[in-house]
Amino acid sequence: MNLENKEIGMAGEKIAADYLERSGYEILETNFQNDLGYRVGEVDIIAREKESGEIAFVEVKTRRKGSWGSENPELAVTRAKYKKLMRIIGRYLRQNNLEDTPHRLDAIAIEMDMDSRKASLRHLKYIYY
Protein backbone atom coordinates (compact mmCIF):
# COMPACT_ATOMS: atom_id res chain seq x y z
CA MET A 1 0.00 0.00 0.00
CA ASN A 2 1.48 3.33 -0.98
CA LEU A 3 1.50 6.35 1.31
CA GLU A 4 -1.38 8.08 -0.47
CA ASN A 5 -3.63 5.02 -0.09
CA LYS A 6 -2.67 4.71 3.58
CA GLU A 7 -3.54 8.37 4.17
CA ILE A 8 -6.89 7.93 2.39
CA GLY A 9 -7.59 4.87 4.54
CA MET A 10 -6.74 6.76 7.72
CA ALA A 11 -8.96 9.68 6.65
CA GLY A 12 -11.79 7.23 5.98
CA GLU A 13 -11.42 5.67 9.42
CA LYS A 14 -11.58 9.14 11.01
CA ILE A 15 -14.74 9.97 9.01
CA ALA A 16 -16.27 6.63 10.07
CA ALA A 17 -15.42 7.14 13.78
CA ASP A 18 -16.90 10.66 13.72
CA TYR A 19 -20.05 9.31 12.04
CA LEU A 20 -20.42 6.55 14.63
CA GLU A 21 -20.05 8.97 17.54
CA ARG A 22 -22.68 11.29 16.03
CA SER A 23 -24.93 8.23 15.58
CA GLY A 24 -24.89 7.23 19.26
CA TYR A 25 -21.86 4.95 19.50
CA GLU A 26 -19.01 5.04 21.97
CA ILE A 27 -15.66 4.26 20.34
CA LEU A 28 -13.95 1.57 22.44
CA GLU A 29 -10.86 1.00 20.28
CA THR A 30 -9.45 1.84 16.89
CA ASN A 31 -7.04 -0.29 14.88
CA PHE A 32 -7.27 -3.20 17.32
CA GLN A 33 -4.54 -5.67 16.39
CA ASN A 34 -4.37 -9.26 17.46
CA ASP A 35 -1.76 -11.87 16.66
CA LEU A 36 -3.53 -14.89 15.18
CA GLY A 37 -0.47 -17.06 15.71
CA TYR A 38 0.72 -16.79 12.13
CA ARG A 39 -0.35 -13.31 11.13
CA VAL A 40 -1.47 -10.12 12.76
CA GLY A 41 -5.04 -9.10 12.09
CA GLU A 42 -6.81 -5.82 12.69
CA VAL A 43 -10.31 -4.49 13.28
CA ASP A 44 -10.58 -0.84 12.25
CA ILE A 45 -13.11 0.32 14.87
CA ILE A 46 -14.72 -1.31 17.87
CA ALA A 47 -17.72 0.67 19.12
CA ARG A 48 -20.59 0.15 21.54
CA GLU A 49 -24.05 1.27 20.50
CA LYS A 50 -25.13 3.33 23.50
CA GLU A 51 -28.85 2.55 23.22
CA SER A 52 -28.64 -1.24 22.85
CA GLY A 53 -25.21 -1.96 24.37
CA GLU A 54 -24.37 -4.05 21.31
CA ILE A 55 -20.73 -4.03 20.25
CA ALA A 56 -20.07 -3.25 16.58
CA PHE A 57 -16.81 -4.43 15.07
CA VAL A 58 -16.45 -2.14 12.08
CA GLU A 59 -14.40 -2.72 8.95
CA VAL A 60 -13.89 0.56 7.07
CA LYS A 61 -13.34 0.47 3.32
CA THR A 62 -12.41 3.76 1.64
CA ARG A 63 -11.96 4.36 -2.07
CA ARG A 64 -11.29 7.42 -4.21
CA LYS A 65 -14.23 8.37 -6.40
CA GLY A 66 -13.71 6.97 -9.88
CA SER A 67 -11.10 4.43 -8.80
CA TRP A 68 -11.45 0.66 -9.10
CA GLY A 69 -14.18 -0.53 -6.76
CA SER A 70 -15.19 2.97 -5.70
CA GLU A 71 -18.91 2.33 -6.21
CA ASN A 72 -18.94 -0.57 -3.72
CA PRO A 73 -15.92 -0.44 -1.39
CA GLU A 74 -17.67 -2.87 0.96
CA LEU A 75 -17.13 -5.64 -1.61
CA ALA A 76 -13.51 -5.67 -0.42
CA VAL A 77 -14.80 -7.50 2.68
CA THR A 78 -14.34 -10.91 1.08
CA ARG A 79 -15.19 -14.28 2.59
CA ALA A 80 -11.53 -14.74 3.58
CA LYS A 81 -11.44 -11.28 5.21
CA TYR A 82 -14.71 -12.07 7.01
CA LYS A 83 -13.30 -15.30 8.45
CA LYS A 84 -10.16 -13.52 9.64
CA LEU A 85 -12.21 -10.75 11.25
CA MET A 86 -14.41 -13.29 13.03
CA ARG A 87 -11.32 -14.93 14.58
CA ILE A 88 -10.06 -11.54 15.77
CA ILE A 89 -13.49 -10.65 17.15
CA GLY A 90 -13.65 -13.96 19.05
CA ARG A 91 -10.28 -13.29 20.65
CA TYR A 92 -11.23 -9.72 21.56
CA LEU A 93 -14.44 -10.94 23.22
CA ARG A 94 -12.60 -13.66 25.18
CA GLN A 95 -9.75 -11.33 26.25
CA ASN A 96 -12.26 -8.80 27.58
CA ASN A 97 -14.73 -11.30 29.10
CA LEU A 98 -17.46 -10.12 26.73
CA GLU A 99 -18.49 -13.46 25.18
CA ASP A 100 -22.11 -12.99 26.29
CA THR A 101 -22.34 -9.40 25.03
CA PRO A 102 -24.40 -8.95 21.86
CA HIS A 103 -22.07 -8.08 18.98
CA ARG A 104 -21.95 -7.86 15.23
CA LEU A 105 -19.66 -7.16 12.28
CA ASP A 106 -20.42 -4.00 10.31
CA ALA A 107 -18.83 -2.38 7.30
CA ILE A 108 -18.62 1.30 6.56
CA ALA A 109 -18.06 2.08 2.89
CA ILE A 110 -16.68 5.50 2.06
CA GLU A 111 -16.21 7.01 -1.37
CA MET A 112 -14.01 10.12 -1.31
CA ASP A 113 -14.13 12.81 -3.98
CA MET A 114 -10.60 14.16 -3.95
CA ASP A 115 -11.53 17.28 -5.96
CA SER A 116 -14.33 18.51 -3.71
CA ARG A 117 -12.92 16.93 -0.53
CA LYS A 118 -16.37 15.44 0.16
CA ALA A 119 -17.15 11.87 1.09
CA SER A 120 -20.21 9.66 0.85
CA LEU A 121 -20.70 7.01 3.52
CA ARG A 122 -22.80 3.85 3.80
CA HIS A 123 -23.10 1.93 7.07
CA LEU A 124 -23.90 -1.72 6.51
CA LYS A 125 -24.88 -3.55 9.69
CA TYR A 126 -24.64 -7.30 10.33
CA ILE A 127 -22.22 -8.41 7.63
CA TYR A 128 -22.07 -12.19 7.26
CA TYR A 129 -21.30 -14.92 4.76
What is the DSSP pairing of strand 55-64 with strand 40-49?
antiparallel
Query: What is this structure's pTM?
Result: 0.87
Class of domain 3-124 as given by CATH = alpha beta
Which pLDDT tens digit goes with each residue over 86-110? 999 999 999 999 999 999 999 999 9
Which pLDDT tens digit goes with each residue over 18-35? 999 999 999 999 999 887
In 3D, which of 103, 108, 104 has the Cα closest to residue 123?
Answer: 108
